[in-house]
Every structure is written in structure tokens, then in C-alpha cells.
Amino acid sequence: MGSLFDGIGGFPLAAIHNGIVPVWASEIEAFPIEVTRLRFPDMVHVGDITKLDGAKLPPVDIICGGSPCQDLSVAGNRAGLSGARSGLFMEQVRLVKEMRNAERLRNRTALDIRPRFMVWENVPGAFSSGTPKGEDFRIVLEEIVRIKVGGVSVPRPDTGRWESAGRIILGTDFSLAWRCIDAQYWGVPQRRKRIFLVADFAGRSAGQILFDQESLPGYPAPSP
């Protein structure tokens, strides 16, 4: 697994608990890097995401990233994906494209091209950020779909409002799903809602990963 916008290593920690090896991470702040060097001594730090070449990164099966949320959050200035911080999401897309293109040049089969999975995490404000309202989340979906199928357009929902969970399936070899999850029901003593998005570039497992109850043990929400 490769972890972008790594912070103090939330994704690598979750990976280890699920039998996944965190191979490398991208982070620019000195203190978080020191924390993760202590906690994950075998994980390589590759530096600033804006200076990385995906074709030169060690191939991994999963790319995870929670791009900066300040421009998407309802508590921020709502500059959206055009903001300098939240716009770094496009760097995540660029790296995944470069990594997958490099794998194609190595003549790997479609099923074996890495990364197969992409995970994106962000604030629920992404559902309403942009003009018209919610346009930024539509762009997020569209850019990820285009990693697999260039030129595809993702429409806005008929209601004009994004649901807290959904999925996109294209044929048998691409799926994407998102779900807004509240940390208080997953063993964390705080109310903290976050969007988790999973893309499977070689199959239809994204929905299973996010919605299958066996793969998401936690604490049930209280009855109404």
C-alpha cells in the first residue's frame, strides 16, 4: 500500500491491522514524518506529492489518500477543488494514472495492473462544495472514473443532491463506491463523519468492500 497525505499514519496503521503492508508514504510535515518513522520503520518516505513521478514509485496494490479538506469543509473558505490545498486531490489522480500507465508498459495484464484499488477520504462538506452545489464531488467521481475509462462523464444526481452512499459500476472491470461513516460507531469516542470512497479498477468489489457487513465490524447506530 502507498499512503498519500499520510499525516501520522492512519492508513498504514489500518493496513497493518488488516494484513496489508504499507510500502511507502508521502508527507511533507516534519513531525508526522518522525512519528511514522518510529511507528513504521520499514515504510519508505517518498516526499512531496507534487514532486513525485508515479512511474518511478514502487508499485503497490492500493493507493490511499485523504487530500487536504480545508477548502471543502463547511468550516473553511469553501474554495473547493480550485483551492490550493483541496486541489491536491488532482495530484493523487495524476499519480495513480502514471503508476498504472507504467504498469501497462511492463506488459502486465489488465487484472494485474497496479494499483488496482484507490481509497479517498474526506469531509462530508465535499457533497455540497462547488458551483453548482455539489459540483466538486461530481468532479471527484468523474476524475477517478476517467483513470479507468477516459472521456466518461459523470452526471449530477437528478435530485441535485448527493446521497451519503452510492456506487458506480462500468461493465465487469470497474466499480466505485462511497459511504459517509461516523467514527463514533467504529470504536472511536467522537462524532466524526467522513466520506470514504473506494475504486476497484479491475472488478466490481468496491461496493462489497464498503457495504459488506462482514468486512466492516463496528458498533451499531442507536435505534431511532
DSSP string of 158-209, one letter each residue: TTSS--SEEEEE-TTS-EEEEEEEEGGGTT-SS--EEEEEEEETTSS-HHHH
Same-domain status, 4 and 63: no
Residues 60 and 42 in one domain: no
Provide the grid cell at 185.
460507531
pLDDT over 70 (residue 54): yes
Within a domain: residue 134?
A: yes
Of 97, 103, 2, 94, the residue nearest 51 (C-alpha): 94
In a domain, 224, yes or no: no
Q: Which domain covers residue 41, as residue numbers?
A: 1-48
Q: How confident is the model over 130-156, as pLDDT tens digits?
A: 899 999 999 999 999 999 999 999 999
For the cut 60, the answer to whether the pLDDT of residue 78 exceeds it is no
> Based on the domain organization, do 37 and 70 belong to the same domain?
no
Residues 1 and 104 in one domain: no
What is the pLDDT at residue 217?
57
Co-location of 15 and 113 in the same domain: no
The set of catalytic residues is 69
What is the tally of structural domains in the chain? Answer: 2
pLDDT of residue 68: 75
pTM: 0.90
CA atoms of 215 and 59, how far apart (whole Å): 25
Provide the percentage of residues in the chain whose pLDDT is more than 70.
Answer: 87
Q: What is the pLDDT of residues 94-123, one digit of tens each?
A: 999 999 999 999 999 999 999 999 999 999
Residue 195: inside a domain, yes or no?
yes
